[in-house]
Amino acid sequence: MRPGQSAQDRLREALRARAAEVEPSPDALPRIRRRTARAWYRGVPVLAAGAVATAAAIALGVVAVEAGRGEHTTLPPAGPASGSPVVVDTRPSAPEPSGAAPATVALPAYFTRNGRLYREFLPAAAGDDRGRIRAAVEFSLGGRAKDPDYTSLWPATVQVHGVTIDGGVVTVDLGGVGPAPAEPKLAAQQLVYTVLAAATYTSMRHADGVRVLVDGAPVARLWGAVDTSGPLRQGTLADLQAPVWVIEPDQGAVVGKSFTVYLAGVVPEGTVNLRIRDAAGAVVLERVVQLSAGAPSLGEARVPVTLPSGPHTVEAFVYSPQDGSVQWVDDHGFSVA
């Protein structure tokens, strides 16, 4: 004890010394989560345990974050990242000065790959509420994804005639819907997920359903396969969204030598595999990543990485418990400056 040192300073110093002695084991984070979950069921507060879990995650090189509650249990909005557009404030602002570039916003749009939904953020003019939702739907249905692996189930002829908002229901008037796609119900959910996600970037903040018109008129069944007599509702996340995805780096992003890989997924045990390859295809990093939650909940993780300059590809996937094969690969090409 130093002369004149207060009791509070002595306590703080003792805690720092004790914390320095702690060395978490590789399975510390999962065990802490199981204990804290049981404590909640018994009605015991676990704030202190949560702080220990976060410290353990940092020590293991993975910071696990809570699954987002926004976008109707879909993935949370992407944060600013190098190479990714930044979501601008949606509150009313002063008029743009004459000659200034128009304001833009990064809008979420859903696409498909291997029978599941994947999301990207794409830049569009800020516009009003209806304009934002319409732009997101046009990105989605038109298959205008940055990642070449992502596609749209809708025909190339589809058009968005307009969008109207009535309370919590968004009506989308479509044209050129063409014959039924291979997966009509998934195509309808591609539209629903996009509208509900885009609504969170408007003054609505929340939408309950999507009503579909075709050439200005209601239809009882879209393609004869999807009941559109009433508003369409969002289907179950675990059945529709991809089990594993890479959120950052975004497709085509340019990042600094030290950056963060942001992963998400709905997988058993919350365990995914991360792999990064260089321009020649050689593996330069490979590790198992523990997400913040396991199926049926959405889990996330942020992994700090340092790489040399040049083109790279980041992959996230899981191994099949049956035969050990690689499944549900999501990959993005990016460059390290």
Question: For position 296, what pLDDT does the model report?
Answer: 87
Q: Please give the residue that has the higher pLDDT: either 71 or 315.
A: 315
Number of Cβ within 10 Å of residue 145's Cβ equals: 22
The DSSP code for 72 is: G
**What is the overall mean pLDDT for the chain?**
80
Tokens representing residue 189 in the block:
């959910």
Q: Quick check: helix, strand or coil at residue 337? A: coil
* Predicted confidence (pLDDT) at residue 159 exceeds the cutoff of 80: yes
- Angle formed by the axes of helices 28-41 and 47-59, nearest 10°: 170
Question: For position 29, what pLDDT does the model report?
Answer: 43
The DSSP code for 195 is: H
Distance CA 295, CA 265 (A): 8
Strands (E) located in 224-309: 226-227, 244-248, 254-255, 258-265, 271-278, 283-290, 299-306
State CA 62 to chain mean position distance: 17
Question: For position 89, what pLDDT does the model report?
Answer: 32
- Predicted model pTM: 0.71
For residues 246-254, average pLDDT:
95
Alpha helices in the chain (DSSP H): 7-20, 28-41, 47-59, 129-141, 184-199, 237-240
Distance CA 335, CA 332 (A): 10
- HSE at residue 65, side-chain half, CA atoms within 13 A, is 13
State the distance between the two ends of the chain, measured CA to CA, in whole angstroms: 49
pLDDT, tens digit, for every residue of 169-214? 999 999 999 999 999 999 999 999 999 999 999 999 999 999 999 9
Reported as a pLDDT band with limits 50, 70 and 90, residue 100 is low
* Position 53, amino acid: A
Distances in Å between the alpha carbon of 89 and those of 92, 138, 195, 266?
A: 8, 22, 19, 30
For residues 306-331, average pLDDT:
95
- Domain ranges in the chain are 7-59, 102-237, 243-336
Distance CA 293, CA 131 (A): 35
Distance CA 118, CA 242 (A): 6
Distance CA 115, CA 236 (A): 14
Reported as a pLDDT band with limits 50, 70 and 90, residue 112 is very high
Pick the range with the lowest mean pLDDT from 40-54, 86-100, 222-236: 40-54
Distance CA 200, CA 71 (A): 6
Tokens representing residue 226 in the block:
């999807």
Question: For position 50, what pLDDT does the model report?
Answer: 39
Reported as a pLDDT band with limits 50, 70 and 90, residue 286 is very high
CATH number for the region 243-336 comes to: 2.60.40.1220
Tokens representing residue 247 in the block:
């959120």
Distance CA 331, CA 147 (A): 9
Reported as a pLDDT band with limits 50, 70 and 90, residue 35 is very low
Describe the strand order of the beta sheet including 258-265 as a list of residue ranges.
Answer: 244-248, 258-265, 299-306
